[in-house]
Amino acid sequence: MKASFVLVEPARAEHIGVAARAVKALVDAELRLVATSAHLDRRAEWAAHGALDVLERAEHYDTFEQAVADLGFLVGTTARRRGFTGRYYRPRELAELFSAKEQTLSRVGVVFGPEERGLRNSELRRCDVLSSVVLRQDQPSLNLAQAVTVYAYELSGRAVSRRPRSTPPAPGTQEALRARLQELLAYLSIEPETPLYRTLQERSAALHDADTELVLGVLNKLVPRLPTE
């Protein structure tokens, strides 16, 4: 499983540099930058001391959708609940979730928003699950660099505790499940903005490998048989 840390519109060069250091020191991942030029500031290089290779290899994208297009599973990080229903995973729980889905997922992304406002609601809805760091008190909150470091640390110990299956799921199983579920929800006129849609998306994304295959198999039989108008 390959991981990408996606920084959306980061404004402060120092935060990007520290993020590069955290990625190199703690977790096997790549850095992706969206709609920013702050990484070109020399302060990003100074803050990335010892991790210039990560900073130089970071991929750059004009839009959020371009940055996450090839990622099969997205985690949206947020400091505020924003009215979204469902579960918010702690960073350590993400490590357990990724391990449980090791054979289903090929590329995952952990997405961080701008320093001043965080991710947009539309970007959070695009993510499969949401995550937040539980703080002892609301203020002061973690800045972008600190948040990236926390997630990199917690994901650094990710390991598969179960024996590999003799017949691993086919690549793209998670993406196929998401697509089939979206077809079914569209047929049922369940809109993406509704709590039920979000809950079903989140619960299906958190399924273990075997359950992912099982539910996908059922949907593959069900959806093509739905009557058309």
Q: Could you give the CA distance from residue 15 to residue 43 in angstroms, rounded to a whole number?
A: 9
Task: pLDDT tens for the chain, 229 residues: list them.
Answer: 789 999 999 999 999 999 999 999 999 899 999 999 999 999 999 999 899 999 999 999 999 999 999 998 999 999 876 666 678 899 989 988 888 887 777 889 999 999 888 999 999 999 999 999 888 766 667 899 999 999 999 998 654 334 444 456 676 888 889 899 999 999 899 998 888 888 888 888 888 887 888 898 899 989 888 887 6
- What confidence score (pLDDT) does residue 139 get? 64
- What confidence score (pLDDT) does residue 42 get? 94
Helix, strand, coil % in the chain, rounded to nearest 5? 45, 15, 40
Q: Could you give the CA distance from residue 25 to residue 19 in angstroms, rounded to a whole number?
A: 10
**Separation in Å, CA 187 to CA 67, 126, 181, 183:** 29, 20, 10, 6
Domain ranges within the chain, ordered by starting residue: 2-156, 173-225
- What confidence score (pLDDT) does residue 164 get? 47
**According to the 3-state scheme, what is the secondary structure of 92-111?**
HHHHHHHHHCCCCCCEEEEE
Helices (H), 69-166: 91-100, 121-126, 144-156
How many CB atoms sit inside 10 A of residue 161's CB?
A: 8
- What confidence score (pLDDT) does residue 160 get? 35
Structurally, what CATH architecture does the domain formed by 2-156 represent?
Answer: 3-Layer(aba) Sandwich (3.40)
- The model's pTM: 0.75
Cβ-count burial 76-115 (b if 16+ within 10 Å, e if not): bbbeeeeebeeebbebeebbebbbbbbbbbbbbbbbbbbb
**Separation in Å, CA 62 to CA 11, 12, 34, 66, 118:** 14, 17, 6, 7, 17
Q: Could you give the CA distance from residue 99 to residue 48 in angstroms, rounded to a whole number?
A: 29
**Separation in Å, CA 13 to CA 58, 147, 159, 187:** 14, 15, 32, 46
- What confidence score (pLDDT) does residue 52 get? 93
